[in-house]
Every structure is written in structure tokens, then in C-alpha cells.
Amino acid sequence: MSQQLALVSDPHNTVPFSAHKELPKRLVPPHVEALKPYQPGRPPEELKRELGIERFINMASNENPLGPPASALAAIQEILPEINRYPDLGGTKLREALADRFAIKVDNIALGSGSESTMANIIRAFLHDDDEVLTSQGTFIGLYVLVNAQGIKLKTVPLKNYHFDLDAIADAVNPKTKMIYLCNPNNPTGTIFTRDEFETFIRKIPDHVLVILDEAYYDFAAINPEYPDSMRYRLDNVLTLRTFAKAYGMAGLRLGYGLGHEYLIDYVNRIKLPFEPNILAQAAGLAALNDDEFLGNTLENNEEGMAYLTQEFDRLGLHRIPSHANFIMCEMGTKENVAKIHEGLLRSGIAIRPLTAFGLPTCLRITVGLPEENRKLITALNKILAPEKKK
């Protein structure tokens, strides 16, 4: 031990950690050792350096192409002199604003550093021992990572025509099922299940089974009268997840929240890290929540971009899956076709998302961008696909 400490204390020490004796494997639980981490898309700055281009269009991450709201930036600027202070432990102002928005109590709300943080807190609060989680294949992979990290058994049901198969999920419930995860609209397919489908499904689910409704893309789907807004139901065993990352343009600040029965939310709040979310995120979220003009502009840009891209994808003969979010998934038939489109677009300075990590290796996902970005995407796709049309 003294020799190791002497090496570390030497400022000129160049001995890597790996040069020391191997750590005992018992330090790492088997379920963590087997864990596959979430793999995000490559950073734009890295791609720009590699490809030698100045501007890169990121259509891979479902971010808001309009940027953050000016109201949120102003709120951040105002609170910046206070970053030497801890944020409000309870996120009181933001929770009160959310409570007013949804006509619920503050005790029905849990804040987190992104909706994934709240999801992680839910998993930590309610799952243990031989509990099981049930969900679909081809859904948000962050859920898989979080459940596997806790050593909880995860069971999946295949998608049905790229949709959640709610009948099959209900049929798969067993005495060990403690939680069901549903993503609506689903990431990465963009599909939804309807009000009728959800109401039929939830009647089959025992009261002791928690249902997590991940509504990260709620704002884009809510215009559809068939969309089952979870806050219309107020079900005791349903916990809703929403985020400021998508429609509110603040993915980099990591701010999300959970909604549900105060009994459940109390335990979620007991689990969460103190002083989460940070002081900038809380201030920006409060400002953005009241910025109806920005939200309207976001939805308008998405609606117009979605109409343009669907028209052009159909003209190009791409097999797109009808989407209710801010992205479109295309089934390309083979991994080779996905790689061709992906690599061709990268050379044109455009990033999209191949979906192998989601269990959909023959599919890719493209985020709706600004009008100029959408046009550049289509121009690039025309060039990539042109040789095939000549055959």
C-alpha cells in the first residue's frame, strides 16, 4: 500500500493504473460486469475534425433545431451570479408552476436531471430482488441500461408493425412483474398506441404493477385526438415521465420530471440526489414552461418539416414509418443499406442515427431539422440514392 501511495504522490509519475496488479473481480457484480452502456451518437465536433468540414448538421439526436428559448437564456443569465449557491432542494418554484399547469399538487411532481434521472429514481425506489420489468423490444435503450444496472430481470415483447403490442405485453404479465415501461410516442419508431388501446390494456393490469408512461415526445403527439394523454387519466399505478429536452430545446441542461400519485412520488423524491436539478436548469425550465410562443414555433417547425420530409421520403421510395414525434424512422431492409445512407450523409456533413443499438439493425432515424437543414438532407439523399435509380 505504501509503495502505491508513493507512486501516486510523485508528480512525475507516468505509471498507468493498468500497470498495477489486477483488481479482484468480486468488486464488480455480475449484472454490472455484463452491462452494455448507452451509446450516444458521435459528437459533432469530433465528426467535423475527422471529415474536415466546418459546419455539421445533427439530425441524429432528436434535439430542437430552433435552439433554446430566449426566455430560458435570459433566466440563466439572471441566475448566473448565484451559481456559487446550491439550488432550491425541492425545486419549489418549478414544481409549483408544473402543478398549476396540470392542475395537480406539488406532491405529485418529482424533478430530475432529465426524465432518465427520474426513471432511474423510480427503478431504484421500487424494484428489488426477483422483481421483473416488462417492456417492448425496439424502444428507448436507456430503460434497458437502467434496469440491467440494478440487476433486475427485464422481459421484452416484440414490436407489432413497429408499434407497442399492448395485448402481448398484458398477456406476458406474471406474478413477478413489478413494472411495465411504455414509451408513447415510442423512441425510435415514432409510433403511438391510441386511447382505446391504452384503456383496454390498463384494465388488464393488476393494481400492484407500476406502469411507467414515458411521454418525452408528448408535445408533438398531443394534437392527435387519439393520443392517450396520461394526465387525463390520473391512474394511481401510472407514473408519467416528461422532459424539457425536446420541445423546449434544453437537452444540454438535463431537466425532466415525473408525475404521479403522491404516495409514489414521495419515494421517488426520497431516492433522488440532493439539489437535483441544478440551479440553471430550474430557472430555465420555469421560464420555458411559460413561453408559449416558443413552444408554438417549435410545433409549427416540426409540422412543416415533417410534411416536407414525408413527401420527399415517399418520392425517394424510402420505407418510412408514420411518426407522431419530431423524427422519422426508415426501414432500409439491410444493414448495408443503413451503412450506405449513414456514411454518405456523414460525408455531406449530416448525422443521422443507425438503430442497431435499439435492436433495429436495418433501420435508421432522422430528426426533423430547420427548413434549410431538411432541404440539405434531401439533396444529399438524392445524390446517394441516384445510382440505384439508374439501375
Domain boundaries, the chain: 44-66+293-386, 70-290
Task: For 44-66+293-386, give the CATH class.
Answer: alpha beta
How far is residue 239 from each of residues 56, 119, 210, 229, 336, measured CA to CA in Å? Answer: 37, 9, 7, 12, 39
Q: Has residue 54 got a pLDDT over 60?
A: yes
Q: Which residues contact 226 (CB under 8 A, 6 or more apart)?
A: 192, 194, 195, 196
> Which range (37-51, 180-194, 228-242) has the least confidence?
37-51
Encode pLDDT of 122-147 as tens digits.
999 999 999 999 999 999 999 999 99
**DSSP state string for 230-299:** GGGT--TTEEEEEESSSTTS-GGG--EEEE--HHHHHHHHHHSPTT-S-HHHHHHHHHHHT-HHHHHHHH
Assign 224 to helix, strand or coil: coil
Place 289 in a pLDDT band, splitting at 50, 70 and 90: very high
One-letter-per-residue 3-state SS of 29-94:
CHHHHCCCCCCCCCCHHHHHHHHCCCCCEECCCCCCCCCCCHHHHHHHHHHHHHCCCCCCCCCHHH
In the block, cell 408514420 appears at 322
Q: Has residue 9 got a pLDDT over 70?
A: no
Encode pLDDT of 85-112 as tens digits.
999 999 999 999 999 999 999 999 999 9
Encode pLDDT of 152-166 as tens digits.
999 999 999 999 999
Q: Has residue 4 got a pLDDT over 80?
A: no
Same fold, 44-66+293-386 and 70-290: no
Whole-prediction pTM? 0.89
Specify the pLDDT at position 10: 61
Place 389 in a pLDDT band, splitting at 50, 70 and 90: low
The per-residue pLDDT of the chain, averaged, comes to: 92
In this prediction, residues 331-344 reach a mean pLDDT of 97
Backbone angles phi, psi at 121, to 5 degrees: -65, -35
Specify the pLDDT at position 127: 96
Burial class (CB in 10 A: 0-12, 13-18, 19+), 305: buried
Encode pLDDT of 171-227 as tens digits.
999 999 999 999 999 999 999 999 999 999 999 999 999 999 999 999 999 999 999
Specify the pLDDT at position 2: 45
Beta-ladder partners of 157 = 136
Residues 379 and 365: their CA atoms lie apart, in Å, by: 17
Task: Please say whether the structural domain 70-290 has been given the CATH code 3.40.640.10.
Answer: yes
- Residue positions counted in the chain: 391
